[in-house]
């Protein structure tokens, strides 16, 4: 199966921003599904400066960890 995960929430809501990344990194990647992540709207601001390094959602891994896992597994991220 192929999945597209979309995040449109920005740095002001790290949990909402992180959930699609978490589903891709710790869901699809773990079971061998093809996935990609799309960052739209406010989600694009996370890529500016070190914003992603500082973000931590509630009850899920940090954005830094999620992005690293997606990068390690060559999951495309579209902006």
pLDDT tens-digit readout, 1-30: 899 999 999 999 999 999 999 999 999 999
Question: Domain span at residue 48?
Answer: 2-78
Instruction: Name the pTM for this structure.
Output: 0.92
Question: What is d(CA 16, CA 77) in angstroms, rounded to the nearest whole number?
Answer: 17
Tens of pLDDT, residues 38-48: 999 999 999 99
Instruction: Please give the tally of structural domains in the chain.
Output: 1
Q: What is the rounded CA–CA span in Å between residue 71 and residue 56?
A: 18
């Amino acid at each position: 199966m192929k999945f597209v995960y979309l995040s449109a929430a920005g740095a002001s809501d790290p949990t909402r921003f992180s959930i699609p990344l978490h589903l891709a990194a710790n869901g699809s990647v773990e079971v061998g599904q093809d996935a990609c992540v799309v960052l739209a709207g406010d989600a694009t601001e996370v890529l500016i400066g070190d914003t992603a390094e500082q973000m931590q959602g509630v009850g899920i891994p940090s954005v830094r960890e999620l992005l690293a896992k997606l990068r390690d597994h060559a999951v495309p991220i579209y902006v």
